[in-house]
Each structure stands twice: as C-alpha cells, then as structure tokens.
Amino acid sequence: MGEEQITKEIESRRKVLFADDHHLVLDALAFVASPEYEVLAVDTLQAFEEAIDRFCPDLAVLDLRMPDGDGFEVARRVLEKRPATKIMFLSMHTEAKFVKKAIDTGAQAYLSKRAPLEELLLAIRTVLNGGKYIGSRVQLPDEDHLSPEGTLTERQLEVLRLISQGCSAKEIASKLNISVRTAEFHRAAIMDRLKLHSTAMMTRYAVERGIA
C-alpha cells in the first residue's frame, strides 16, 4: 500500500469522541476503536464540549454522569449547536428511565458498560451507518410487560403491528402518543431482537404470526 493511499484512508476515517472520568475505561475504549476510527478521549464534560468544536466527531460517546456535570444536559447543548452529531450513551445505569431520557435527549444509542466488546463495536458501526442501537443489557421502556411473542414488549408488539400496516414513525408516534424518537427506537429494538433487517421482513413476520 502506497503512502498516498494510506494518507487518504486515514483522512477518510470516521471520528469518534469518548468521554469518561475513568482513565482505564478511556484507554480501553480508545484502544479497541482506534484501529478502525480516528479517536479522541477526554476525561471531563467541559473537555468533551470543547472537543466537539475542535475535533468535530461523527459520533460522540459519553457517560450519563461525570464529576463536572450531567451528560444529558451536555448532549442537549451539543445537539442544539451541532444537530448532525450522533450521540451514544455508555453507562452503568441500565434502568428503562435512563434509556427513555436518552431517547428524548436525541441519542442514537444506549449501551451498558457491562456489554461485551463486540456489542460496543457493533453499536458504533450501526450508529455511524445511520441506524439506532439499544444494548442487549439495558431495559427498554415498557419492557416489564412482555407480549405473547415472549420476545417483544407489548409496546413493541403495537409498533410492529403498525409497521406492518404501513405506518411511518411519525404516524406510529401519533397513534401511540409517544415521541417519534421513541417510535424509531422501538423499531430498531424489534429489528435487533427478531434479527429482521427490513420493513418487508418485519411485515412478513407480523403477517405470518397474525400480528398484523
């Protein structure tokens, strides 16, 4: 591989910004992501906000709470200033209320710090490719009410039914009295849990099982 080609590949790599107040965690995140992405790691939310303007990341990954502030508030400020920035929360908190707050804030992904390395890399790739990702080790809103399918929650079952009827995320949000972001997250969760990769596959699944 020539030097010019190497330079072009480096310049074209996507940028990922990590923020965590534990240096061991930061070092680990940077180590696993740097072979594939251009990485910057910072240990305060103030440095995180400064890096958003200086580093201009494609994806920003941060914890919910750090000694110098609230990750949700910082994410809101970042998205107000740079709405194209993709946000992922990486936290020890796995309760549904935190996931819901992340969705409402505008995050594209939420992952537990207990998640395996492979899932972290999958979440990063999914978000950078325009998708959304909810970790397998976190609780979704309404997850304590499982559907007869045994895999989906009652709310996800409702979303799947509306998807099979051709409803858009905006229409689903209106019918179920939820936000569009929440509807999109439920759609992403359904696809992940059922291993379905398109609207057509979801519709077929719903029809075959009498959900539609």
Span 3-134 CATH architecture? 3-Layer(aba) Sandwich (3.40)
Render the burial of 66-82: b for 16+ CB within 10 Å, e for the rest: beeeebbebbeebbeee
The predicted model gives 2-22 an average pLDDT of: 71
User: Is this structure's pTM higher than 0.85?
Assistant: no
Strand partners, 39: 16
The predicted model gives 170-176 an average pLDDT of: 93
The predicted model gives 121-128 an average pLDDT of: 90
Report the percentage of the chain scoring pLDDT > 90.
53
Tell me the backbone φ, ψ of residue 59, rounded to 5 degrees.
Answer: -135, 135
- What is the per-residue pLDDT for 150? 47
Cα 65 to Cα 94: distance, rounded to the nearest angstrom:
13
Instruction: Write down the mean pLDDT value for the chain.
Output: 86
The predicted model gives 187-210 an average pLDDT of: 84
- What is the per-residue pLDDT for 54? 95
Render the burial of 107-141: b for 16+ CB within 10 Å, e for the rest: bbbbbbbebeeebbebbbebbbeebbbbbeebbbb
What residue segments make up the domains of the chain, in order of their start?
Answer: 3-134, 154-207
37-95: per-residue pLDDT in tens?
A: 999 999 999 999 999 999 999 999 999 999 999 999 999 999 999 999 999 999 999 99
pLDDT at 136 over 80: no
The predicted model gives 109-122 an average pLDDT of: 90
Please give the CATH number for the structural domain made up of 154-207: 1.10.10.10
- What is the per-residue pLDDT for 166? 92
